[in-house]
Structure 1
């Protein structure tokens, strides 16, 4: 089993200002060593490490961790997609095979950034290097994400955290409509991750999470959805195992093949994990 969404950091209160005092549980260092016991207990064999810092030095940080920790099977790094020298940078990073794709924190950007000509050009450039792209946005940004995807429709994308629906209010109608549109592109996958963080951290109900799962599987099916934890951010709500067990409970009605797709095959296919990566 592969966890497609984890973060590692050496906490810096200035650089990581988004981790405010309300998030005290994660205002500290997190390394692969913190995951090993949990992964062993749950029989998870590895993870995709996803950028948390928007600087190319993040790529070097994650690459070093991957060299030292075999649980890291792939990396989603950061590169400036609006850089006029983007091809040169991608050519450089392409020599590091552990880097599978890229992400920018679009949830912090507006439509002018997301749909700008140079950003779209950057997305289109990724295809030349066989890179994936992780889409990180809030539910109310999905219309802009749909437009972005339409402008570079043949690029492989994965929607992080189900597009961050408003789990707490359960106002899901518009989000579900946008998910339906986005999922019509067969090159878009979805990560089943982070919904506890979008819910009432301490008082969420199982049905609130499952209502969101229902929408995702209705439109993406079981061939384009992959399991992710969003660790350590998930710790704001519950221990890692609580999230994993919640997903496993929902998937208990799935066939063996559908479970394998959710926990392994979709991740392996999307991020082009080789057999040796999975050992």
Structure 2
């Protein structure tokens, strides 16, 4: 099965989706399962993991509702405030939904570099482990140090790095990011999504040659059995289309064994998220 491990749905609202700036106005509209279904048929994708884009419990419930109505949505990564004092109770409640696989916080938007190491947040991660939920790490490169400390502290928690930690591909920023990613990759409980890469490059002028060194580093650091293809649809549309986004990965991994390719394009997502 080919699984897109990272995409979003939303009903567009200017205030709620204020992060969609003028350079991204092509995605200032609704994106729903009926839109994605057509794209998946054209690109031979069997299913997906829908990831939160808004930090509310209403968002988690919205995604659960879509997943209940659409069989191709195989899993959900929702949001809940991991710092909440009643986090156990909340996770207990959400444990009854088999398609809810994990949670994410938009840590890239937090001013504190060490946000993930605050005691209340760590308490939330400990609760995730207890309830068998995954955690998606969404950060910028300057937050990789905190991420490394986080994954060290929870060796039994399943983590996945979203969008290869958003290196500044457009500016050619590589070395510091690469060093940190290698260190994180040494931890067997951490996976990495090959997603969101074209939007870290120049939207209109990116080339596969420019992005491939970053993919190679991720492959070297995590190995073919801990990396997952993700489209980041519809965000990927600001830097191309779905087919180009998918081909960036499939062309690069064509040199790997059929088994490794099948892992990256689906099996690893099935294993990580228990789809």
Q: What TM-score do you get using the length of structure 2 for normalisation?
A: 0.97
C-alpha separation in 1, matches of 2:21 and 2:240:
18
C-alpha separation in 2, matches of 1:239 and 1:264:
20
User: 1:86 is matched with which residue?
Assistant: 87
**SS class of match (1:223):** helix
Aligned residues: 273
Structure 1: which 5+ runs fail to align?
274-279
Give the 5 Å matches for 1:189-200. Answer: 189-200=191-202
C-alpha separation in 2, matches of 1:188 and 1:125:
18
C-alpha separation in 2, matches of 1:205 and 1:245:
12
User: 2:177 is matched with which residue?
Assistant: 175
C-alpha separation in 1, matches of 2:38 and 2:14:
27
User: 1:276 is matched with which residue?
Assistant: none
C-alpha separation in 2, matches of 1:271 and 1:21:
34
User: 1:61 is matched with which residue?
Assistant: 62
**SS class of match (1:180):** helix
C-alpha separation in 2, matches of 1:84 and 1:142:
26
Maintained 8 Å contact 1:90/1:129? yes
Maintained 8 Å contact 1:138/1:165? yes
Matched, 1:99 2:100: yes
C-alpha separation in 2, matches of 1:244 and 1:261:
15
C-alpha separation in 1, matches of 2:113 and 2:173:
22
Matched, 1:206 2:222: no
The superposition leaves residues 118-161 of structure 1 with CA deviations (integer Å, 9 ceiling, x where unpaired) of 10111011011110000000112111111122222321000000
Structure 2: which 5+ runs fail to align?
none
Maintained 8 Å contact 2:82/2:121? yes
**SS class of match (2:224):** coil
C-alpha separation in 2, matches of 1:113 and 1:269:
28
Give the 5 Å matches for 1:24-35. Answer: 24-35=25-36
Matched, 1:218 2:215: no
User: 1:4 is matched with which residue?
Assistant: 5
User: 1:161 is matched with which residue?
Assistant: 163
The superposition leaves residues 59-89 of structure 1 with CA deviations (integer Å, 9 ceiling, x where unpaired) of 1100111122111000000011000000000
Q: What's the C-alpha RMSD, in Å, of the aligned pairs?
A: 0.9
Maintained 8 Å contact 2:55/2:79? yes
C-alpha separation in 2, matches of 1:111 and 1:9:
28
Q: What TM-score do you get using the length of structure 1 for normalisation?
A: 0.96
Maintained 8 Å contact 1:120/1:151? no
Deviant stretches of 4+, over 6 Å: none
The superposition leaves residues 230-255 of structure 1 with CA deviations (integer Å, 9 ceiling, x where unpaired) of 00000010011111112111011111
Maintained 8 Å contact 2:170/2:200? yes
**SS class of match (2:254):** helix
C-alpha separation in 1, matches of 2:114 and 2:178:
24
C-alpha separation in 2, matches of 1:231 and 1:224:
21
